[in-house]
Structure 1
Amino acid sequence: MTFEKLLDEAAKDNINVIEMKFKGNIKGLYCNNTIAISKKLKTDAEKTCVLAEEMGHHHTSSGNILEQSNINNIKQEKIARNWAYKKLVGITSLIRAYKSGVRNRYELAEFLNVTEDFLEEALKYYKEKYGTYYAIDNYVICFDPLAILEMF
């Protein structure tokens, strides 16, 4: 999914998206139907990943969860990230990439318009959720090592 398509989706959900300078290493924040994304982000893929995670907060989180020493805040952070993983690295997207000839992680990250780190975390999420593989339709997706097998 492109950054522009995700921006359109945010607009449909009545979420304002702005770019701004942050102190430190903050990449994005969500508060009261507004997402702020750091101007320091260089690539479309980085912006897409950050926007998706902040949209995940819009859809799944409540209250101020900035204090990450609180276990409930940590859980809400994980839920928002999982929302983003499903949004940008969906199971059917993995199959679509395979059908398009994608054969390695670098190509897959580029195909999905995500960073390689985001892709890696998404695959870890799926492995935690499903185990080492997931079968759907005529496909088996192995998460570690990453492989997609088509059954005949």
Structure 2
Amino acid sequence: MNYESLLEEAQKELYVYEKPLNPSIKGLQGENVIWINRHLPTRAEKITILAEELGHYHTSCGDILDQSSIQNKKQELRARQWAYYKLFPLDKIIQAHREGIRNKYELANYIGVTEEFLEVALQRYQDKYGDAIEYKDVTICFNPLGIVEWFNF
């Protein structure tokens, strides 16, 4: 999924604007509107921010800017997890493997996300599933990252 297709999908449900924002703010969501900081340097950063703000739209309620609250931290985590699953589903790992992607840098470029987003998403999968999961016809290993395809007899 690229930024334009996610943007098009988002605009079916709410308004999305790219506006110059304070440099410390990458994106905001509220009242059926998402604002993305126009000054984000790359498409990869824009798509990760858009996905997270969409995650807030789908999973959060109220003002959660105060991250000293446990409830607000939980809502932030849910929104980020939504973004990880949206941009980087397990099927993408298998697809990338079959396309010959061999390292995390190539994988981040293949998916179109930042390396930081990829690292945190992989850590989330490892926290959820452990070091490996049998998924469809393969075993996905998260530490180290890799795919094991078994022979079908």
Q: Does 1:60 align with 2:59?
A: yes
Corresponding residue of 1:9: 9
**CA RMSD of the aligned region, Å?**
0.8
Matches of 1:122 and 1:113, distance apart in 2: 13
Deviation for aligned residue 1:22? 1.9
Matches of 1:32 and 1:141, distance apart in 2: 39
Q: Does 1:74 align with 2:73?
A: yes
Matches of 2:15 and 2:93, distance apart in 1: 30
Give the gaps of 5 or more residues in structure 2.
none
Partner amino acid for 1:103?
R
Give the gaps of 5 or more residues in structure 1.
none
Residue correspondence of structure 1 range 87-106 to structure 2 within 5 A:
87-106=86-105
TM-score by length of 2: 0.96
Residue correspondence of structure 1 range 19-30 to structure 2 within 5 A:
19-30=18-29
Matches of 2:47 and 2:15, distance apart in 1: 15
TM-score by length of 1: 0.97
Matches of 1:81 and 1:137, distance apart in 2: 25
> Where has structure 1 moved over 3 Å in runs of 4 or more?
none
Count of matched residue positions in the alignment of Structure 1 and Structure 2: 151
Deviation for aligned residue 1:114? 0.4
SS at match of 1:37: strand
SS at match of 2:11: helix
Deviation for aligned residue 1:42? 1.2
Matches of 1:6 and 1:96, distance apart in 2: 19
Deviation for aligned residue 1:144? 1.3
Which has the larger displacement, 142-151 or 72-81? 142-151
Matches of 1:15 and 1:113, distance apart in 2: 23
